């Protein structure tokens, strides 16, 4: 896309790992937030999103990275 600015931040409960919130800033944020919204609606844990295979190269990979970061194990930091 040629636009390296932006980020996704995911917040999960330290005890249950349930996703409490997702912040998305940058290009196509409206496309990326949908995955977080669905996960929160169904009471998902960050590990649930971390285990999903996200296509490469796509913007959705950043949601995967944010989910991994909740457990301090992002692939790219």
- Name 13's Cβ contacts closer than 8 Å, sequence gap at least 6: 20
Enzyme catalytic residues: 56
Give the span between the Cα atoms of 17 and 71, in whole angstroms. Answer: 9
């Amino acid at each position: 896309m040629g636009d390296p600015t932006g980020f996704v931040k995911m917040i999960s409960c330290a005890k249950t790992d349930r996703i409490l919130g997702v912040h998305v800033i940058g290009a196509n944020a409206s496309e990326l937030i949908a995955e977080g919204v669905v996960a929160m609606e169904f009471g998902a844990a960050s590990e649930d999103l971390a285990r999903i295979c996200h296509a490469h190269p796509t913007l959705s990979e950043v949601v995967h990275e944010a989910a991994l970061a909740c457990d301090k194990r992002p692939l790219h930091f």
